[in-house]
Structures are given as structure tokens and as C-alpha cells.
Amino acid sequence: MTLVVAHRGASVQAPENTMESFRLGAEAGADAIELDVHLTKDGKLAVIHDETVDRTTDGSGEVVGMTLRALRKLDAGARFTGADGSTAFAGKGLTIPTLEEVLDWLPEDIGLVVEIKVRSAVPAVVEALRERPVRQAGRASLISFDEAAIDEAHALDPELPTGYLLVPSQPFEPALRWAVEHGHPAVHPWDGDLGLDPAPALAQAMAYGRQVGCYVVNDPDRMKHLAILGLWGFVTDVPDVARAALGPREDA
């Protein structure tokens, strides 16, 4: 079964990395929610993709330079425009959530994929997950483009699955070998790098006992093709489209 992972939630339907986006992703039938984590000035785990708040809120400035209290005053729906051109989420009280807030909400049958955006956040993220049901059930994983970040996470909690994110055009086979050597069970290339025929890359990973996920897949025909080939999972901005393409979710 190929896993459907909601990329920053249902990020076409609602502002990315907000509780509304995560809720819609779960309702759409995603097997897991993917989110991004930065550290605030006061050491809190803020769920936001960029280093700054400029693109996704009505504020300005670096996340690391702001306290959680200051971040929570920003409108996380202010800059979202829907497919129909609407700005329905502006002024509706959407805020930047914390990782703890997401963990408190997360349905018990939904997985969680945490992308580490800054290496300094690793200890706090591992600790936040440690006693949570999603971690105990084996439904949580940490991913990062930063090799040192996932190495540190693996050292802190060897049983917590980690995945190596590949930047676009990064050669797959050397990255796969690195993941094997460092004990990381998954590699996550950009879908465009898998090409029209992902079978060779998937076969390489299978030979090493590794899983392959990819980002970001929004075309239903591509979703079906990847699932037929046995891809472990993909992140998507449209989990509702993915669920319709692949059929009802199973207990993942």
C-alpha cells in the first residue's frame, strides 16, 4: 500500500501548516500529515515552513528572532488564496501552531512526518515525540535535507524512523548508499528525479532494504503509476485527489 501524506496538510484547500489544513488533510483520508518545524526565539517548536513569516502571514521577520507569543499574534490565513481566488481564511483566527498542539490533536490512526528545518530543533522534536501515542505506535518519522540533523535524531532515538530528503537533481544512488551507511530507513527524492520509470530506483532501494517516498505528487495518473510500482509513499498538496485515485485508505 502506498501512503498518502498530506503536504503541510491539505495545502491547496487551506493555509499550509495550520490546524485547518491538517484537519482537512485528515478528513480527506491522508495516511499521514507532513509538517515543518522551526525553533522560536524562546525555544518553542513552531510549525512553519519558511525561515521568515513573510510569505504565509501578515507579519514580517525571522522565526528564530520572534517569541512564540509574538508569532501567535500573526494571521496565518492572511496571504492564502484559494483555487477560486478567494481569501476566505484572512481574519479567521488561524495562527501558527506548535508541534505540541498538533500532537495533542492528531487522530490516533494518522501518522506524522516532521521535517526538521533547523538542526538546533532536533533534540526538542525528539523529546516532544518521545512519549506520544503516534511515536509509540510507530507512526511518526523525522525527515530533513540536513544529513547532520537526521544523524543526530537517529543517535538520540535509534527506533524513531528517519528519512533523507534529497534536493532536486541530487543523484539517487549515492544518497541511498549514504542512508544505508548511516542507518536511515528511507530516502525521499523529488518526484521529477524519479523520471517516467521509477522502477530502477525502487529496485535499488529494495535491494538495500530501504523505503522510497517522494515529493510532491499532485497528478492522479502519476499517483496511480507510483502505487503500482510499489512506492512506499508520496507527499501531496491534494490528499483528496490522491485518495480518490488510490481508493479508500487502509490502516497504515
The DSSP code sequence of 85-137 is S--TTTTS---PPBHHHHHHH--TT-EEEEEESSGGGHHHHHHHHTTSHHHHT
**How is residue 186 annotated by DSSP?**
E
Measured CA to CA in angstroms, residue 206 lies from 194, 195, 196, 243 at distances of 15, 18, 19, 25
Q: Is 7 a catalytic residue?
A: yes
Question: CA-to-CA distance for 31 and 135, rounded, in angstroms?
Answer: 15
CA of residue 173 relative to chain centroid, distance: 23
Q: Which helix (H) or strand (E) holds 12?
A: none
Whether residue 188 lies in the annotated active site: no
Residues in CB range of 236: below 8 A, 6 or more apart: 4, 5, 6, 7, 216, 217, 218, 223, 242
Catalytic residue among 7, 38, 184, 188: 7
CA 194/CA 212 separation, integer angstroms? 10
Q: Which of 38, 49, 154, 184 is flagged as catalytic?
A: 49
**What is the dihedral angle through the alpha carbons of 65, 67, 72, 76, rounded to the nearest 10 degrees?**
10
CB 235, CB 246: distance < 8 Å: no
- Sign of the CA dihedral 181, 168, 154, 230? negative
The catalytic residues are 7, 49
